[in-house]
Amino acid sequence: MRAPPPGTLGEMCGIVGYVGHQDAREVVLEGLRRLEYRGYDSAGMAVVADGALTTAKKAGKLANLEKVLADRPLPAATIGLGHTRWATHGGPTDRNAHPHLSADGSVAVIHNGIIENFAALRAECEHDGVEFASDTDTEVAAHLLAAAYAAAPEGESRLADAMRTVCRRLEGAFTLVASSAAEPDTLVAARRSSPLVVGVGDGEYFLGSDVAAFIAHTREARELGQDQVVEINRDRGVTVTDFDGGSVEPTSYTVDWDAAAAEKGGYDWFMLKEIAEQPQAIADTLLGRLGPQGELALDEVRLSDQELRDIDKIFVVACGTAYHAGLIAKYALEHWTRIPVEVEVASEFRYRDPVLDRSTLVVVISQSGETMDSLMALRHAKDQRARVLAICNANGSTIPRESDAVLYTHAGPEIAVASTKGFLTQLVACYLVGLFLAQVRGMKFEDEIASIVADLRRLPEAVAEVLARMDSVRELGRSLADANTILFLGRHVGFPVALEGALKLKELAYIHAEGFAAGELKHGPIAVIEEGTPVVVIVPSPRSRGSVHGKVVSNIQEVRARGARTIVIAEEGDEDVVPYADHLIRVPRTPTLLAPVVTTVPLQVLACEIAATRGLDVDQPRNLAKSVTVE
């Protein structure tokens, strides 16, 4: 088989490991249920019992594996590992599902990421007579680990020694978790540029690609750094080293949400629950940001005020929904700081050779903190000596760890693949960053900042008010379920909102949707309007200085004259739109720069309702995974 181009393929998966006193089968399976959003092309488990490794795995969603386990249960055990896969290297088949075993069945491995030099390593193994049972790069690690284990000196950490030996040979981004039939009380894991956290309970230990894997059992976690190996052993506890064997003291932290936060809470879909959580999530993002003298505070800042005052250019770098948050942030950042801002798709950033130096600030937005495109952009920026500020939801993840400053959104877990509360809290975080920079650079007085923060603090109530009015939007969504195309128009901060509305519809309902700057309508897009075409228009406030409100009202008239079905989102009191709106969605009056926080919400609900009416899986859209941890 041919090797993939470097950095293009890999796994975006859920990983669970357990060593303790409970039934490992139940602990691992429960963790996999919580992590299924990370991958649902196949699932598998392995346990060590009676001196042997036993595995079960199956293509498709986790329910398929559960059926296999009901028919052929794994033996009872107190050590196990499990995996949910999002396939990109080797098709989503039974043979490619994890765990993968060494040729002699003595070692089991699960994997997230990509081993870029797997082709050369596979050829080496095949030269030595190893026959491969799958098409994955992961299986290479299993065979190499078994060989390294056989060659490792006798000792209580033999599996960890073998893991370090193998990792020094691997290239790429990966998390590996391994068990050996010869060490029935030990799991070993390694990470490089791919997520892995350790959970510590009472005489039991957990591994997970996300804390959701073990949150039902413990909230005490250990943060693993780059190029580190962790051993969890029933008697010795947690031992962390670097790839060369040097001892490392991991950072401990307490997870600030509980198991109930990862459950649907009575909603049909996680996405509906997360939409409903947005008022609280916004409030949590704002909590504790303003000091007694009116000063703003981020979570971590390793830059001096003078370094921040020296900044003369800002890049905002992100992917997907986070990129749309960045587009909106540009308006606020430039307005409040008077620093020029560019917004870049992370996957394109480093390849166009952007001009960066010590006076450049790169703001990286990532919900998971592990988004590989964004992480590579961050590292390129650091190589060019630029300063980096991260906006992230995942405490202890890679992007904030490698940044010079961090603002955590504190939004809690977001299980649905399509981001909702993640997006709104990223917006609020961007506003806080803009105000923080304006404060440090002396562009705004304390009372001005306090006034804007007061506006921000009113947003949870405004979003709650929008949510209370969504019955008509859900009814509208049901009526649009058969649409083939839906267009979105907006101007100023409403343009990125239009892009986000179109993206949500594509993600969830698989409907062709596009967002346009309303001023571009007559430059081409109006040609696709025909009788009955739904057009969603985000109308700016008529109260703002230099408002383009009248121009957008004219755009509504133009598309309606050509047969469009107009769906208009406008603030309370805007009567100019009434004659031209087939469907009118009201939102509370909100300052112009902050308006996207309220105007986005109806678009989330609309997309969710259309998808549900079409009988689709709202939480896990086809071909998508929550965390894109490879380029």
Judge whether 618 and 269 are in contact, CB under 8 Å: yes
Nearest to 424 by CA among 441, 438, 411: 411
Rounded to the nearest 5°, which phi and psi values hold at 42?
-165, 170
Q: Are 625 and 12 within 8 A, CB to CB? A: yes
Spatial CA neighbour of 420 closest among 490, 512, 504: 504
Residue 416: closest CA among 630, 211, 629, 617: 617
The contacts of residue 71 (CB under 8 Å, 6+ apart) are none
Which residue in 57, 444, 504, 626 is the catalytic one? 626
Beta strand spans in 261-420 (E): 300-301, 313-318, 341-345, 360-366, 387-392, 405-408
DSSP states along 486-512: EEEEE-TTHHHHHHHHHHHHHHHH--E
Dump the DSSP string for 86-129: --SSS-SSTTTSSPEE-TTS-EEEEEEEEETTHHHHHHHHHHTT
Which of 13, 125, 167, 392 is labelled catalytic?
13
Residue 163 main-chain phi, psi, to 5 deg = -60, -45
Catalytic-residue membership of 264? no
Q: Which two tokens stand for residue 471?
A: 């019955």
Q: Residue 174 phi/psi, 5° resolution?
A: -160, 150
Active site residue 626: yes
Q: Say how far apart CA 215 and CA 202 lie, in whole Å.
A: 13
Counted residue by residue, the chain has a size of: 631
CA quadruple 446, 450, 453, 455: dihedral sign: negative
DSSP class of residue 52?
E
The closest of 567, 573, 598, 601 to 585, measured between CA atoms, is 567
CB 195 within 8 A of CB 398: yes
Contacts of 306 (CB under 8 A, 6+ apart): none
- Name the phi and psi angles at 14, rounded to 5: -100, 135
Residues marked active site are found at 13, 626
